[in-house]
Chains A and B, each alone.
Chain A
Amino acid sequence: MSLRRLFVLFMCAALLSASPASWAKRTWQLKFATLAPAGTAWMDLLEAWAEEVRVKSDGRLKFKIYAGGVQGDEPDVLRKIRFGQLHGGAFTGYGIGHFYSPARALELPFLFNSLDEIDYVRERFMPDVEQGYRDNGYELLGWMEVGLVRFFSKNPLYSVDDLRRQRIWQWQGDPMGQAFFDASGIRPVPLSIIDVYTSLSTGLIDTVYGPPLGALALQWFSKTNYVTNVPMANGIGSLIVSRRFFQNLPQDLQKLLKSTGKSTGEKLITATRRDNEASLEVLKAKGLKFTLNEEDLDVAELDRISARAGESLMRSGYIPEPTLSAINQWLAEYRANNKIKEPSAGDSP
């Protein structure tokens, strides 16, 4: 065989290996981290997502899920994604603050009155959020929630004034918590979440906040006696992948990851809301008493707190003014539409 023929053969082989047929056989592994422990409803849904992607991609895209926080907490996972050691993960407000901090407007204290309001605003806000993530190097795959955040306390709480008299934990380094406490005139005790349970036992703090399922999983409920009925905010979360990983995928796999991620997020929201509701019942059974009902609220004061927190986040640039205005506008729109639908006193049944 002449050298030229050998070269032609080699070129043919190289061209063949770059053909769509061999492209179709290439496989990708998505290293994905989550704090959700194995066996929980969250993890079951994430595993089902991974399986759906594996099957629908004919094995070309596989997840390797690191469950239960084995890759560290959110700052650790973020760092590993930046270094390319991991490609994606499930994040709560902390991570979202790094992907696109304006998205955390959805966590403003006392902003929403119902889950329907949250859903209405979120739907309209999502295109901005998605673009914001993309501009910062992340692809949003699915939106989820941690749940409605309540106060858990050793002493009964009936007003914001009562809150001011407690030793309240603040999640160290969280701008949202800081904005809320500043706006409410509360001087909290900043601590890492790791130290909360022990600090409740020693009395360093006597009040904490979190969703009911979180209070059960972290066993804070066993060190507190009261839980507030009115939630202060809605904890958010999202499923993301780095743009670097996402852009390397062929288009069909990008579409698959996006569509399945979106529906997984929706399932996660349903499961979270269900489990948080069930957790409230468990808390009752465990002897916790519910305080701060709707009728105890000084609505004007809460509105002032919410507005002040929003303004301070706006000044720091964490949540820009246009985002805040848009959210307030959607909220007003929803409330106006809903008011119209409500039967007035003079309406016949």
Chain B
Amino acid sequence: MTLLRHYLYGLLILLLLAGCSTGKMVVRGSQSIMDSSLETMNRETDLELARQAMPANLKLLEGMLIEDPGNTELRLYAAQGFYGYAFGFIELEDPLRAAQLYRRCYDHARIALARTGVKLDPEHSTTADFEAAVSQAGKRAVPGLFWTASCLSNWINLNRDSPASIAELSSAAVMMQRVLDLDETFYHGGAHMFFGVYYGGRSPLFGGNFERAGYHFRRAAEINNDRLLLVDLLYAEYLARQQLDQPAFHSRLTRVIEAPVDLYPEMALVNEIARERAARLLEHENDWF
């Protein structure tokens, strides 16, 4: 009994010293489960299973974040989760809802970024102040910068009718350029995919640059040993479509559809999402070319 009392006192003192609530302790104790959960989600090849499982996982993550709001890793998981759910399952069906989900992704990512010492508020900053703040970001800030920029740019993409959101595209580009400078391989060369879309999805008249887009898509493919089908999907959806290059559009999407399921087991879910989206895009081939 005395031993137990000593143990409890010891635990209490530890908790007080760590400044931790019980909830926070539980969250931190179960973090490895979340790591594994994310890993199995990334390896999922059954899209329907993923579509149904993701909302519950996202709500669990948000619940854990209420207990442990300063947990950067969980924040980034939440950002990544909302991004993946909106992109993979909602955007084509319900763009308005997807825009709201991207906004939640952006909020989580920005909090995570602030935890690494980079407090950014692009919508309420002058261009000069914003660029100065981003230039201070170090390698530790790369994940926060990447997901903040990714979620912001996809939100802008679904709000192109608003001048205020159009203005933020340059903020997303500034953050992504910093990611590229600090670690071009982060999240499977995601910054290269961003710039592939950024330069490939617009007419040169509006700042597009097909040569640069081609370079970034090639680099993203190299970083993934040509196994991430998202690269081909985005190439077709943005660059080939903008260039009115129907053969490239068709062959890239056909490659995505016909690729083996075990092409990249660690990123199977993203590849399956790309496969489903490729089929949807091919349905529009005659409308666009």
Contact = CB atoms under 8 A, between A and B. Distances in A.
A35 B203 CA distance: 8
Contacts of B160: 37-40
A218 B163 contact: no
Interface stretch (A160-168, A234-242, A278-286, A308-316): A278-286
A286 B163 contact: no
Given A35-B205, A216-B166, 10 more contacts: A37-B203, A39-B157, A41-B161, A68-B203, A221-B167, A285-B124, A285-B164, A286-B127, A287-B127, A287-B129
Interface of B: 123-124, 126-129, 157-158, 160-164, 166-167, 169-170, 201-207, 241-244, 287-288
A35 B206 CA distance: 9
A44 B161 contact: yes
Contacts of B205: 35, 69, 73, 193-194
A282 B202 CA distance: 22
A212 B123 CA distance: 17
Contacts, number: 80
A219 B166 CA distance: 9
A217 interface: yes
B126 A70 contact: no
A213 B167 CA distance: 9
A194 B161 CA distance: 23
A125 interface: no
8 contacts: A37-B206, A39-B161, A70-B203, A70-B242, A194-B204, A278-B162, A279-B163, A287-B127
A193 B203 CA distance: 11
Given A68-B202, A68-B242, A222-B127, A39 B207 contact: no
A219 B203 contact: no
A340 to B, nearest CB: 38
Interface in A267-324: 275, 278-279, 281-282, 285-287
Given A39-B158, A64-B287, A282 B206 contact: no
Given A37-B206, A68-B202, A68-B242, A217 B166 contact: yes
Nearest to A37: B160
B129 to A, nearest CB: 8
B250 to A, nearest CB: 16
Residue with the greatest number of chain A CB neighbours at <10 A, chosen from B128, B160, B163, B167? B163
Contact of A73 (B157, B203, B241): B203
Nearest to A215: B167
Contacts of B288: 70
A158 interface: no
Q: Which 3 A-B pairs have the closest CB atoms?
A: A287-B126, A69-B203, A39-B160
A217 B164 CA distance: 10
Interface string A42-84: 0010000000000000000000101011110100000000000
Interface in A215-256: 216-219, 221-222
